[in-house]
Structure 1
Amino acid sequence: MLTRALIVVLAILNVGVASWWLLRSEPAPATPPQPATGVAELRWLPGGTDAAAVAQTSAATATEALQEREAAPSAAVAATEAPATPPPAEGAPPANAAPAVAAAAKPAAPVVETPAIAKPAAEKPAAPPRCVALGPFADRAAAVAAQGRAGSLLAPARLREQPAASGSTRYRVLLPAAASREEAQATVKRIVAAGLSDYYIISQGEESNAIALGQYRNREGAERRIAAVKAAGFQPRLVASGDAGQWWLEGQLAAGSEPKQVQQRSGATQQRSLECTRLR
């Protein structure tokens, strides 16, 4: 039973293989690769060492033929275009020897070193201003003279009066004494017409018939009063009474000057450091 089954299976397989063989299509013949122009086709030859030698000989022959084909047009063009060059004389150097010798004899270009750019030095900050007070001077005239001697070493400069320590100094604004009481009263009428107040006629003493226009504890107030009286058309004068004060010359030192140098030039007996903000 098993034998029959195997025979049937083998018969079916044979029938299937025979049908496939009969019905299959013929494969298209493979197109051999076209060799490059001028290059010999390499083919496989059966055999051992003799076949390899034959293949090498064929390749060498094909290479020589290709070189001859390429050299033939170039030689023809060179023959027609290039002029005939006479052969160099025996012992003469070749044509390209001169450029080579010139190139060898030419000195090499010197190497120029770029100098390093020095960084600018940082600017030093400006020195802060210094101010001094020079004195003391007995009166305003002496302080003005000292200011003139100091000159440009102390600029800007100003005069300052320091009251006496006791505080008893007083400043009076006066109009010169008139020749008579009637003349003094006529001057008072002019003062009133000018809009001034705070006045009285001195009736006795050395300043009799003089007109007093105010008394002040500091010079600044007295000088403001004098300015107002002058603006009204009068010529008052300032009279100090009590203990006399002291005068000082204050200012800012010029660049490069020293306090000792300014003190010697001005003739002051003392010099003190001063805050510059006090001059503003």
Structure 2
Amino acid sequence: MTLRASLVLLVVLNLGVALWWGLRSDAPPAPAEEAPSGIARLQLLSERPDPRPTAPAVAASTETPAAPATPSATPATAAAPERCFSAGPFADTAALDAARAALAPMASRLRSREIRENGGRGWRVYLPAAADRATADASAQRLRAAGFNDLVVVGDGAEAHSIALGRFSTEARARAHATALNAAGFAARAEALGETRSRYWLDLVAGPGFDQNQARRAAGMAVRATDCATVR
């Protein structure tokens, strides 16, 4: 009887301990059973999301209202093109100065220029006289070697031992030939033949209300339209 009583007591104690353990408030909750595949899990109403749409939050606008457009400025009137004239030729600087004084009130800008004329005899290009004939001949050999074959060594007279390098009908051609010789290392010069004289011109930019006939009477000389590039 003692063994049976011991077994009964042991079973009762085990049941009591299991009951006490299940009734504890801090006992971990029993794991939720997973629903079989394909079957939705039951949800309480409090667990479902609220189906009502929420109003979107209105962000405070940071944009500043656009300022009203101001009327555009009146376009500037296009400036009238310049008109330029040349008066002359004047024989001397006295006549030039008198014309300048008469035309100054009619012009916004004035410029004088001088043109030299040689009386129609042409121009020459030459090398100045050397110390002796041997030096002149050596210069002539160097000129021919450089390709300048049109030359004459002057043997006597006031220009003995100089080298003539050609005559030209215009100043422009003479100076171009002299420039080519200078570039090759020769001290060539261009010079007008015969008496030279100067002629003077007065170039001007017309002012407001400029009258060409009135300008001609004031200058005592012809007044012709010209390119404004010559007056700059």
Shorter-chain TM-score bucket reads 0.3 to 0.5
Q: Which has the higher contact order (CA 8 A, sep 6+)?
A: 2
More helix by share: 1
Q: Report the TM-score when normalising by structure 2.
A: 0.47
Structure of larger gyration radius:
1
The normalised TM-score by structure 1 is 0.40
